[in-house]
Amino acid sequence: MTHKQQLSLAHQLFRLGGHATELLFWVEQAWCDDETGENAATLGRVEIQVRDIERIVEEIEVDALPERKRAGLEGLPTRARKFYAKFKSEWLGEDRSQRVRSLNAVDPEYLYDCHKELISSSPLKDPLWLSWEAALAHLHDLFLKERYVHASFAVGRMLARVSHPTHTIDTYAPTSPEMQAYLAVDFNADLATYMRELVKAFPFFRALDHDLSQYAGEGISRAIGKLQDEIAAAFLNPQKLQEPLVPGYLGLILDESHGLVRRGRKEVTLDGPLIWSVLKRLAQSGTERTSREGLNVVLEENRRGTNSRGDESLDQHLKILRRVLKPLGVGVPGRRGNGWMLEELKGPKKDYRRRQ
């Protein structure tokens, strides 16, 4: 996949994670709603989430994905539609209406427990919903090796769970201030882990302040809403987050977020987080050679589910780098036992001897 396709895929999975969580939220809200009839607002919101999920999957360039990942994504809209049809049928039924009406006489102090009891008999226990949840878990596992995709999906779900709390996963449960503080620490640690993976793949995310440790109560909800908007905007327009790029060693401008290497008026494309990690290490080393061991450490730190291992992988990346950088007049010479460095290519020697 090209860098542009990777960015687009991560963006769509971030959106998909958020809408999957919002679907659960609106299903619970609708099931406990005392409104009836097909025009009820909460029922409409459930349908909107299903349509949004369909639209997101349609926008993903699935042709660029392996067959298993493509099948995992393409199966989601069908499962969501089937569940919605079942949910709508039961939502309109008399049994739900009677249960909801019985809650009108309940003391507000016990309303949380009553809603939780009501949800326990909802279609969220139906095999169609369990099938939907299993498909999401399968999708989560399919992209475990592509850590930036896995992280995008996880961040989308995490942030949405705060803005759209649910009984099913206990984010709606009332907690003490001490427990809220404890949960906030765990949440912030998990978020930081996933954001590090996004930064590795898309360095422009480094400019986003995702530290939520200083917020509490309603403040953290507002901060998370702002972060959701900033991440979505960054996927669409990463240039806004980027600091101006300046030439480095040998005049090279490394624009990793767009997969471009520039020198003067020339530019070349370079795709893949591993090969970028090698180039950046060589550029940082300047006139100092970097050993095979040093470059292999960089590769292992940045490896994301490739099948290549060890020296063979490094040699492949160096070979590609030589070919890609040649139009810029830059070579990657190696010296046995001393390692590699970036070096200006020298032009062919001219023969000034008088021709006979």
- Do 105 and 83 share a structural domain? yes
- Do 327 and 281 share a structural domain? yes
User: What's the mean pLDDT in 299-321?
Assistant: 70
- Examine residue 355 and state whether it is found in any structural domain, yes or no: no
- Examine residue 137 and state whether it is found in any structural domain, yes or no: yes
Q: Write the burial class of residue 90 (CB in 10 Å: 0-12 exposed, 13-18 middle, 19+ buried).
A: middle
- Examine residue 348 and state whether it is found in any structural domain, yes or no: no
Domain end point (choices 191, 224, 241): 241
Residues whose CB falls within 8 Å of the CB of residue 188, separated by 6 or more in sequence, listed in order: 211, 212, 213
User: What's the mean pLDDT in 283-291?
Assistant: 91
pTM: predicted TM-score of the whole model, two decimal places: 0.68
Instruction: Tell me the pLDDT tens digit for each residue of 77-109.
Output: 999 999 999 999 999 988 888 877 777 666 666
Q: According to the model, what pLDDT value does residue 171 have?
A: 58
Separation of alpha carbons 160 and 156, rounded Å: 6
- Do 303 and 221 share a structural domain? no
Rg (CA), the chain: 26
Q: Quick one: tokens of 189?
A: 């640690």
- Examine residue 350 and state whether it is found in any structural domain, yes or no: no
Q: How many domains are there within the chain? A: 2
- Do 89 and 32 share a structural domain? yes
Higher pLDDT, 161 or 47: 47
Mean per-residue pLDDT of the chain: 83
- Do 180 and 118 share a structural domain? yes
- Examine residue 349 and state whether it is found in any structural domain, yes or no: no
Separation of alpha carbons 308 and 303, rounded Å: 9
355 pLDDT above the threshold of 50: no
Domain end point (choices 190, 216, 241): 241
- Examine residue 139 and state whether it is found in any structural domain, yes or no: yes
Separation of alpha carbons 222 and 84, rounded Å: 30
Domain that holds residue 308: 249-343
- Do 272 and 125 share a structural domain? no
> The domain spanning residue 299 has which CATH number?
1.10.10.10
Domain end point (choices 195, 210, 241): 241
- Examine residue 356 and state whether it is found in any structural domain, yes or no: no
228 pLDDT above the threshold of 80: yes
- Do 180 and 259 share a structural domain? no
- Do 232 and 108 share a structural domain? yes
User: What's the mean pLDDT in 162-176?
Assistant: 70
- Do 97 and 223 share a structural domain? yes
Widest CA span in the chain: 112
- Examine residue 201 and state whether it is found in any structural domain, yes or no: yes
Q: Quick one: tokens of 302?
A: 């940045």
Question: C-alpha distances in angstroms, 133 versus 137, 285, 288?
Answer: 6, 48, 52
Instruction: Tell me the pLDDT tens digit for each residue of 30-74.
Output: 998 888 888 889 999 999 999 999 999 999 988 888 899 999 999
- Do 88 and 232 share a structural domain? yes
- Do 80 and 38 share a structural domain? yes
Length of the chain: 356
- Do 103 and 33 share a structural domain? yes
